[in-house]
Structures are given as structure tokens and as C-alpha cells.
């Protein structure tokens, strides 16, 4: 199989391999589990599924790698659970979340049905603790229930912008200590954006009584949101109206929530299975230059769509409700990783119109071929059971209600030794902390290193500069065109972060998880402009992160702590 990087091997041994299992045996285990649902040609499909994983051309989400082949193996990464406004329902959901986290999945919740803090509880003549208090209970439970016994669970907490507790929710992580197992986002509506633009008042509503509890200036609430995002990176925004305009199953109701990183909007109890194609493996050299290998990409898409559809059929479902809606809609999310490195291989700067144009062509191709593969499966296996209720009926046959999603690809990018998702390179050399308990991984980008050596530019001076600062922009004798290609995340204007997310979202059924990385001196005003632009672009969600705004930052330039060398 393809040689694994030391960091990839380390993470596989820590989280994924069973006892004496080798990486090759892991991929065989997963392929064997998935071909069991095939009616025929078992050897053919085993070879194809095993082959794309073994060559690191495609990898599924972590629970599939961890749990395939185990008794009661739960293979899905993403879940949304309802939070109803009564004590029994709140703690039933907490129990279900614990089971999901223990199996390797992450959970999203919208807490907007909960009555606000200090609201009356008629049955006891007491008062409500409010949404944030219950979020803290969920957060504490998450701390002690590890995903698949390997890591703490991940949560998304959403509160709608109309909720009485929204101001307290927006500032709930400002102390840097609370809700550390949650990503939090405000559920934004078009009406709220219009109220901000026109400087109108905004009504907050008690969800129990449906009556207005408070009237505030919409712009004041907006400013509070962006100031907190500037301070801590949260809350992000979830654009609920945009999500529901694109809802393939409107007859099943509105969607109010997403998975923990925002790339999959889901109904209550729905789950989704994700996987990503490694774009650095989709390259062909014609003797003069590198180009995308479109034929190989199409073949890999076809294999990956069938792979993910098989995950749904071979999965163990922890709850009957989850099984029912997941099997009815059969949502999958095929995405990509290695986009930044693909651009480098092709000699295209991330911060360029050429890169944005290629992103649109690429993702359009991926979506079209994904739908084609799902359509072919529908001819063989039938459409997803709720197809008649979908916007695809009566003319477009599909096996899956959604086919594409751009996930963060955190762990699987490390295994595949490539860049995260559609993100630019964070730095040319950096420390990765917090993904393996207290272990730190050090990394110099291998494509950068190879390029520097091929140009005869890898000197002790450059090595030292890159190790400390993660950048080559201040090294005078490196050609400008090389500097441009190797611009890192914080050196790329927010404009291009947003444009990349926009064009990938245009051809993505679900949503795009992307972080707009910002320099430490970024102002709240700039973040306000980014958030507003995201809404205008039709994004389904937006997250920013101002460098250094959290104490426990997963990716850090090596110079943050020079005792940990990157060489």
C-alpha cells in the first residue's frame, strides 16, 4: 500500500487500529464489511473499495474506519438530535447523545424550543434554568464520554436569533472555559439580516408562550455577535432560510440544525455518512505539466458513492428513529481533501481568480458525477424510499437524497498526508496539538519541502525561517511566483477564503465546513463584513477564527514554542 507518514501512522495506532492490526488490514476490514451488502461481484467490489483506501485516494469518516467489522459497529459521523421543552425529553436526548459519542459520532442540537432562563414552570411553580444551563450539562457529560473510547465527543449548539436567551448564548463562551465541547452558532434568518441593514428593532420571543419577551436593536445584537466572534471565534452563523431554500425534502419539514462542524444540515434523528477524495492523488503529468486526471477522478467518485451507500446498508443504528429516517433519505456526503496541495502541484496560487475558477469547474464535475453514480445505483437498487416526497421526483432518479458535503477532514487528512478539506495551508511548518490527548505532532509540508529542494532553495536559512514563522514571505531571494504559490492561510485575504467557499457551496448538496482564518489584528468591523458577505453569497454557514484568540489552538506556528522543533 501507499507509504504512510509518521504522523499518519501515529494517529492510526492511537485511534483506529484494532489490537495487532496493520493499516493494510484495517482497510481490508472496512472493505470486507461493506461488500457484505453486495448481491454479487464481491471480489470486484472488495478490490475497488480496498484499493481506493489503500492508495489513500479516498477515505471515509472516522467511525467507519474505527468500527466497520465490529459487532454492532456504528459507522456514521454526523447526527442531529431533538431537544424538546420538558425534562424527560432533555435527558433522554442526553442519554442518546452519550451512546452516539461512545460510538464515535458527533451530535448537533438546536436548543430553541427550550423556554428561556427564569421562565415559569407551571408543574412545580419553579423557574426554568434556560437553554445555556442545559447546554452546560450536555457539555459536562460529553467531557466524560469519549468518542469510540478514543476522544471526547463533538457537539454543535444552535440557538435561533429570535430566542429570548440569545444575548446570553452569544457570550456563553467568552470566558474561554465554558462549553469547550461545543461549537456554537446563531440560527440566522433573512428577516434578521434585513432588520440589521435597515437599523430596525428586533423582537425576542419566548418559545413557550410565543409572545415577545424583549425588543432590542437588531444592529446591537449583530454587533454583539461579531464582537464575540472577534474575541473567541464564536458564535458562527447558520443561515436557516438558505438551508431550507435548498432542502431536498421540504415535505418532511424545515431543517433547523447541522452536525458539529456545519457541513450537513439534518432533520431530527437523521445521520449522515461522509467520505473525502484526496485530490493530490487525482493528478496526471503529460510530460510538460501537471493536470487533473478527470477520468481517474470520475472513477473514484463512482466507487466512493457506492462505498458510502453501502455504509448506510451495513450500518448498526443505535436508535430506531435514527435507522428509520436515515434509511428513508439515505443522505451521504462525498467531499474532498488536499485542495490547497492540488493547487500547489498545478502551480496555481490559492489567492487567485484562476484558483476560484478551477474550484467551480472541479466541484461542478464532482457533483454531476456523484449524482450520475447515485442515479445508476437507483436503477439497480431503487431510489431512496422518501424519493416521492423529494424535489427530485418525478424526473430525477437518485439513490441518495444528498450526495456531496465538504467536511473538515481533520484526522483523515493526517492519515492521507494531505491538506485539510478546501482550506489553504495553515503554515508551511506547524505544530498540531490536542488531537492525540497531550501529544504534539510536528509537520513541515512535504510538497513545499520537495519544491524547495527541486529548486535548490532549501538552505539552513530558509529552514530556520520556516520553522519559526511557518512562512517564506519575508525571505528576499525566493522568487515572487514561488512566494505566491506558498501563501498560507493568514496571508490569504478573507476575500479569497470566502470566494472558495462560495464556489464549492454552489455545487455541494449539503454544506461546506470552512474556517475563515484571520490575522490576530482583525477587527470586529472586518468580521461583520465577512459575515454579511457570507449571507449574500448564499453560504449555509460561516465560521471565522482570529489567530491566537483561544488558548488551546490546535494548529500553531512552531515559533509559538521553540522547544518543539519542526525539523
Cα angle, residue 71 at apex, residues 68 and 73 outer, rounded to 5°:
40
Q: Pairing state of beta strands 271-278 and 541-546? A: unpaired
Cis check: omega of the bond before 394, within 30 degrees of 0 = yes
Q: Give me the residues paired with residue 182 across strands.
A: 155
What contacts 514, CB < 8 A, 6 or more positions away? 406, 421, 422, 423, 497, 500, 501, 504, 543
User: How many CA atoms are closer than 13 Å to the CA of 229, on its beta-carbon side?
Assistant: 30
Q: Measured between alpha carbons, how far is 155 from 184 in angstroms, rounded to an integer?
A: 8
Taking a C-beta distance cutoff of 8 angstroms, is the pair 340, 447 a contact?
A: no
Cα angle, residue 337 at apex, residues 332 and 341 outer, rounded to 5°:
165
Taking a C-beta distance cutoff of 8 angstroms, is the pair 269, 82 a contact?
A: yes
Phi and psi, residue 265, nearest 5°: -70, 135
Which SS3 state, helix, strand or coil, does residue 13 take?
A: helix
For the question of residue 259 being annotated catalytic, the response is yes
The H or E element spanning position 437 is none
* Active-site residue, from 261, 272, 383, 558: 261
Q: Measured between alpha carbons, how far is 36 from 71 in angstroms, rounded to an integer?
A: 14
Burial 189-212 (b: 16+ CB within 10 A, else e): beebbebbeeeeebebbbbbeeee
Count of Cβ atoms closer than 10 Å to residue 1 Cβ: 14
* Active-site residue, from 57, 227, 234, 263: 263
* Active-site residue, from 155, 259, 400, 404: 259
For the question of residue 86 being annotated catalytic, the response is no
What contacts 467, CB < 8 A, 6 or more positions away? 429, 444, 558, 559, 565, 566, 567
Which SS3 state, helix, strand or coil, does residue 121 take?
A: strand
CA dihedral 303, 307, 309, 314 (to 10 degrees): 160
Count of Cβ atoms closer than 10 Å to residue 228 Cβ: 22
C-alpha cell at position 435: 488531537
Q: Measured between alpha carbons, how far is 6 from 494 in angstroms, rounded to an integer?
A: 33
For the question of residue 263 being annotated catalytic, the response is yes
Which SS3 state, helix, strand or coil, does residue 258 take?
A: strand
Taking a C-beta distance cutoff of 8 angstroms, is the pair 377, 306 a contact?
A: yes
Count of Cβ atoms closer than 10 Å to residue 44 Cβ: 11
Q: Which residues are catalytic, by number?
A: 259, 261, 263
Amino acid at each position: 500500500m501507499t507509504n504512510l507518514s509518521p504522523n499518519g501512522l501515529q494517529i492510526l495506532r492511537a485511534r483506529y487500529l484494532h489490537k495487532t492490526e496493520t493499516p493494510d488490514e484495517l482497510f481490508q476490514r472496512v472493505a470486507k464489511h461493506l461488500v457484505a451488502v453486495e448481491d454479487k461481484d464481491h471480489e470486484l467490489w472488495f478490490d475497488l473499495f480496498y484499493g481506493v483506501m489503500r492508495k489513500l485516494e479516498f477515505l471515509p469518516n472516522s467511525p467507519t474506519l474505527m468500527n466497520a467489522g465490529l459487532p454492532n459497529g456504528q459507522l456514521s459521523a454526523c447526527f442531529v438530535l431533538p431537544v424538546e421543552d420538558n425534562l424527560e425529553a432533555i435527558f433522554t436526548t442526553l442519554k442518546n447523545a452519550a451512546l452516539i459519542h461512545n460510538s464515535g459520532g458527533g451530535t448537533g442540537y438546536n436548543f430553541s424550543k427550550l423556554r428561556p432562563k427564569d421562565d415559569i414552570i407551571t408543574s412545580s411553580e419553579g423557574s426554568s434554568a434556560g437553554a445555556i444551563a442545559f447546554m452546560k450539562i450536555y457539555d459536562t457529560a460529553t467531557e466524560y464520554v469519549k468518542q469510540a473510547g478514543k476522544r471526547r465527543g463533538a457537539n454543535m449548539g444552535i440557538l435561533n436569533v429570535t430566542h429570548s436567551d440569545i444575548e446570553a448564548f452569544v457570550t456563553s463562551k467568552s470566558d474561554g472555559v465554558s462549553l469547550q465541547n461545543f461549537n456554537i452558532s446563531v440560527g440566522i434568518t433573512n428577516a434578521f439580516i434585513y432588520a440589521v441593514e435597515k437599523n430596525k428593532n428586533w423582537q425576542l420571543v419566548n418559545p413557550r408562550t410565543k409572545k415577545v419577551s424583549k425588543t432590542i436593536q437588531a444592529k446591537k445584537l449583530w454587533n454583539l455577535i461579531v464582537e464575540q466572534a472577534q474575541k473567541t471565534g464564536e458564535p458562527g452563523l447558520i443561515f436557516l432560510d438558505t438551508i431550507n431554500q435548498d432542502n431536498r425534502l421540504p415535505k418532511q419539514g424545515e431543517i433547523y440544525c447541522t452536525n458539529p462542524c456545519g457541513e450537513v444540515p439534518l432533520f431530527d434523528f437523521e445521520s449522515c455518512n461522509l467520505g473525502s477524495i484526496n485530490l493530490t492523488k487525482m493528478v496526471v503529468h503529460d510530460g510538460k505539466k501537471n493536470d487533473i486526471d478527470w477520468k481517474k477522478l470520475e472513477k473514484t467518485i463512482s466507487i466512493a458513492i457506492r462505498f458510502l451507500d453501502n455504509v448506510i446498508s451495513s450500518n448498526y443504528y443505535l436508535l430506531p428513529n435514527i435507522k428509520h429516517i436515515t434509511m428513508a433519505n439515505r443522505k451521504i456526503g462525498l467531499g474532498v481533501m488536499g485542495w490547497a496541495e492540488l493547487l500547489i502541484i498545478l502551480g496555481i496560487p490559492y489567492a487567485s481568480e484562476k484558483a476560484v475558477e478551477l474550484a467551480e469547474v472541479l466541484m461542478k464535475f464532482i457533483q454531476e458525477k456523484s449524482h450520475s453514480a447515485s442515479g445508476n445505483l437507483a436503477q439497480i437498487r431503487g431510489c431512496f424510499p422518501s424519493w416521492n416526497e423529494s424535489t427530485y421526483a418525478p424526473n430525477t432518479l437518485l439513490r441518495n437524497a444528498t450526495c456531496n458535503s465538504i467536511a473538515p477532514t481533520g484526522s483523515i487528512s493526517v492519515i492521507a498526508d494531505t491538506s485539510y478539506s478546501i482550506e489553504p495551508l495553515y503554515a508551511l511548518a506547524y505544530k498540531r496539538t490536542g488531537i492525540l490527548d497531550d501529544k504534539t505532532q510536528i509537520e513541515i509540508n512535504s510538497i513545499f519541502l520537495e519544491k524547495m529542494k527541486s529548486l535548490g532553495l532549501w538552505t539552513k536559512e530558509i529552514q530556520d525561517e520556516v520553522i519559526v514563522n511557518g512562512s517564506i514571505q519575508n525571505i528576499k531571494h525566493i522568487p515572487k511566483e514561488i512566494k505566491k504559490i506558498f501563501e498560507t492561510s493568514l496571508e490569504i485575504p478573507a476575500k479569497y477564503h470566502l470566494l472558495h467557499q462560495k464556489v464549492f457551496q454552489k455545487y455541494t448538496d449539503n454544506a461546506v465546513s470552512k474556517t475563515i482564518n484571520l490575522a490576530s489584528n482583525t477587527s470586529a468591523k472586518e468580521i461583520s463584513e465577512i459575515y454579511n458577505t457570507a449571507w449574500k453569497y448564499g453560504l449555509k454557514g460561516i465560521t471565522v477564527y482570529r489567530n491566537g484568540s483561544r488558548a488551546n489552538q490546535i494548529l500553531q506556528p512552531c515559533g509559538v514554542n521553540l522547544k518543539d522543533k519542526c525539523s
